[in-house]
Amino acid sequence: MAHSSPMPVLTRDKRTEGEPIDRVKRRGHAGAGETPETVVEKMRGPKLVALWAALIALSWAVAGGIGYGAYRLVASLF
């Protein structure tokens, strides 16, 4: 007679066999010493484009500020 385990068999991604992956993310089940995984919605569309544009503008502003500061520093020495 085969012995059946009372515990479900877990696969590598911590889900029981045959269970959909998205159900695992929603259930929030954590083991000892683990925190439940939070599901973060991906940013898409115009919000993502606006974020990238803002980051690019900010990086150019920082680079320009550093360049101008270096220019003024060198100009004050000579």
Tokens of 51: 């974020």
Domain residue spans of the chain: 8-40, 41-78
Look at the pTM and tell me if it is higher than 0.85. no
78 pLDDT band, cuts 50/70/90, is confident
CA dihedral 59, 61, 63, 64 (to 10 degrees): 160
How far apart are the C-alpha atoms of 3 and 22, rounded to whole Å?
Answer: 30
Per-residue pLDDT of 11-67, as tens digits, reads 555 555 665 555 545 455 555 566 677 888 899 999 999 999 999 999 999 999 999
Contact 22, 30 (CB under 8 A): no
Contact 14, 28 (CB under 8 A): no
